[in-house]
Amino acid sequence: MMGTKKGLAASQTRFSPLKLVRSPAGQTHRPLLYTTPMASSRLAGRLFLSGSRIPGRQSTRLYTTAPPPGGSDNANHHAKPRTPHHLPKPPKRTVPSPPPSHSQAVPTPPGARHEVHEGTQTLSAPYNPPGGGPGGAAGGGFAFTGSPVLDAVLTTCIGLGAVFIGGVVYVRWYKSNVLAKIEQAFEPGYDPALELAKSHTKRNEEPAYDADEPWTEYLRRKEQDQIDDIVKGNEPGHYFLLLGPKGSGKGTMIFEAMNAIQADGVSMCDAHPDLEVFRLRLGKALNYEFNEDTQTGLFQRRDPREGGAALDIERALNKLEKVALRCAKRRGKPFVLIINNIHFFQNDDEGRQMILQLQQKAESWAASGIMTVVFSSDDFWPFHVMRKSASRMHVLSVSDLEQPDAVKAVTRIRIDADKVPIVPDDVQETVNTVGGRLSYLNRVAKAKNMTEMAKHMLRVEKGWILSQIGLIPDCDDDVMDEQKWSSCSWLLLQEFVKMRREQEKEREEAIARGEAKPEDLNDLPLPAVSWYRARQIMTRADFLEELDKVNIIAMDIHHDVRPDSMLTLRSAMEVVEEEGFQELLDGVRDRIDEIESLHRTRELTFKDLGKGDSVRLAVDKGGSYYVDLRKPVRDDDDDGDDDDDDSDD
């Protein structure tokens, strides 16, 4: 046992991390704590064994300071450690005491530090209950009553009340902010649609022509004055529908009117077949987010998107109505909302219902004078939908330019594009080919060779028409319906070609009589027939809408049907006047009649008939028919007749 203690003491002396280091003269010998990896591991192990208190084994006490003399743990527990007489007393270091407001650690007696390290001393830490304990002021809490339960209930009610009041305030602020943002969308300055169209409405700073002449970019249309008044808000009490073929200049005139007033009180959006896309476009035009940017998820009862696109659009229009009512008195004129290309809506129940929804709002806003809605369409079918319930709607038809105006427009566009030289004969030939469609004139005028570009466009248009309504001789019954549409369409185009030739003949006769000038020979309007006459020519009433959709024909407010453009008429003339076209058209129509007759033919099959049996079929055109099926009667008499000779006369 003594050997064990000596060995343990030797190991403590050898590996103890505490050593007394002799300082130079005049300094104090202080215990220096240093560690090595081995010493640290041994120290940790001994501390663990010391705290485990294994029965029957005396644990070795490890001191972090020099033990007191006498070897007793309890007798000299509070005794001060001796200082060697040959060492000077260390000077006392004064540490400034912290202010009373700061919390201080509980001091540990000098002799009890080893108990703290050994874990044998119990430290009492104060417990601060919620609310500051008795009195309520020790922990900085609040105490309204003497009961902790009532204090908790009151605190919860105050918190919920603060959240509720904050939510109400936020909702009211959000609603007012939505209206302010919608009003900002109609202020002059930035407009998304106008910014995209600035390249089309930018005027030449140094024009090569007389600036006093009227123009809309290159030529001012006769409809421009009325559209300017509509966009400026000078036409309250009505809403408008602009009808015209694609590329006739409807959008250009609208952008010109918006640019003149910097879109003050005007907003514009484009229609789309998908109502969800149209919802986003309308929200962008009105600066409305459809409650998608709100933080009221804790207070709202239902998802604002669950009603579909139509319900969201109705919410946006209701918000717009509030803003228009608020601003109408201050402005003295209505806002203007432009919905472009409404023919992009599907011609089905959903699309027609959307047009009706917008029209109902336009009717009510026009009646109150707070908003003017402008619709534009390339096709004619939206007019049929809106005509049924329209009472304040005005319709404007936009057509192609006349030949003199088209020649001036081509000349100005070409000068502005620096495409020189300009040959008047080339300009006249180009206009005779493409007509007065502004989009076509802009394309040929900016080309290097105008006449070649015009011929190229004519070939493209002819190929498009043949791809849509080309005739197929000896067609199969699977394409019979498509060939019905094609043959009826060519009947109408053939009528247009005949009318054009009659117009030219009459103009030549007028020139011969001296009633017209020779240069007026090609200044002829497009041939047109009435709607009911077109249905008689085609023998079908449901084919006109599809032809209008593919831009082969165009219709105006007077229900006149004409070719979509001069290119369409020129292409039809080339096809119709080809050799063998009439035979091809007649052959296709005969083939359709044969297929239809085969479909109408019924085959009757009689079974159980023997050799020599006969069938007699009688048809009564009065509405009844009968079939007499009988076997031949064998004649047993010698007279050769079928009657019974034994029968009485």
Q: What is the pLDDT of residue 20?
A: 44
Q: What is the mean pLDDT of residues 14-30?
A: 46
Q: What is the mean pLDDT of residues 587-596?
A: 89
By mean pLDDT, which of 127-141, 421-435, 525-539, 550-564 is the weakest?
127-141
| pLDDT of residue 63 exceeding 70 | no
Which residue(s) pair with 372 in the sheet? 336
SS3 at position 430: helix
Q: What is the mean pLDDT of residues 235-255?
A: 92
SS3 at position 616: strand
Q: What is the pLDDT of residue 9?
A: 43
Report the predicted TM-score, pTM, of the whole model to 2 decimal places.
0.68
Q: What is the pLDDT of residue 629?
A: 52
Query: Cα-Cα-Cα-Cα dihedral of 531, 534, 540, 545, to 10°?
Result: -60
Q: How far apart are CA 587 and CA 591, in angstroms?
A: 6
Q: What value does the mean pLDDT of the chain take? A: 77
| pLDDT of residue 329 exceeding 90 | no
Q: What is the mean pLDDT of residues 530-554?
A: 91
Task: Tell me which CATH code domain 171-398 carries.
Answer: 3.40.50.300
Task: Give the rounded percent of residues in the chain with a pLDDT score beyond 70.
Answer: 67
Q: What is the pLDDT of residue 609?
A: 77
Contact 267, 317 (CB under 8 A): no
| pLDDT of residue 620 exceeding 90 | no
Q: What is the mean pLDDT of residues 36-54?
A: 51
Q: What is the pLDDT of residue 540?
A: 86
Q: How far apart are CA 614 and CA 630, in angstroms?
A: 7
pLDDT band of 2, cuts 50, 70, 90: very low
| pLDDT of residue 141 exceeding 60 | no
By mean pLDDT, which of 205-219, 513-527, 577-591 is the weakest?
205-219
Q: What is the pLDDT of residue 32?
A: 43
| pLDDT of residue 14 exceeding 50 | no
| pLDDT of residue 203 exceeding 70 | no
- List of residues 6+ apart from 612 with CB closer than 8 A: 632
Nearest to 366 by CA among 258, 230, 242: 230
* CATH 3.40.50.300-classified regions of the chain: 171-398
Q: What is the mean pLDDT of residues 406-425?
A: 83
Return the DSSP state at 239.
E
Q: What is the pLDDT of residue 443?
A: 92
The listed range with the strongest mean pLDDT (371-375, 506-510, 544-548) is 371-375
Q: What is the mean pLDDT of residues 356-383?
A: 95
| pLDDT of residue 643 exceeding 60 | no
Q: When comparing pLDDT for 603 and 80, which is higher?
A: 603
Q: What is the pLDDT of residue 479?
A: 83
Nearest to 41 by CA among 5, 15, 10, 9: 15
Task: Give the rounded percent of residues in the chain with a pLDDT score beyond 90.
Answer: 39
Written as one letter, the residue type at 387 is R
Q: What is the pLDDT of residue 101?
A: 47
Contact 345, 273 (CB under 8 A): yes
Which residue is it, tokens 């015209």? 244
Both tokens assigned to 267: 């907003």
The crossing angle, in degrees rounded to 10, of helices 349-368 and 275-286 is 30
Q: How many other C-beta atoms lie within 10 A of the C-beta of residue 121?
A: 13
Q: What is the mean pLDDT of residues 58-76?
A: 47
| pLDDT of residue 216 exceeding 90 | no
Q: What is the pLDDT of residue 23?
A: 45
| pLDDT of residue 350 exceeding 60 | yes
Q: What is the mean pLDDT of residues 553-575?
A: 94
pLDDT band of 526, cuts 50, 70, 90: very high
Q: What is the mean pLDDT of residues 499-519?
A: 87
Return the DSSP state at 338.
E
Written as one letter, the residue type at 600 is R
Q: When comparing pLDDT for 429 and 106, which is higher?
A: 429
pLDDT band of 614, cuts 50, 70, 90: confident
Q: What is the pLDDT of residue 574?
A: 94
Q: What is the pLDDT of residue 458?
A: 95
Cα–Cα distances in angstroms (integers) from residue 43 to residues 11, 12, 13, 63, 73, in the given order: 12, 10, 13, 11, 20
Pairing of the two strands 371-377 and 335-340: parallel
Both tokens assigned to 304: 């604002």
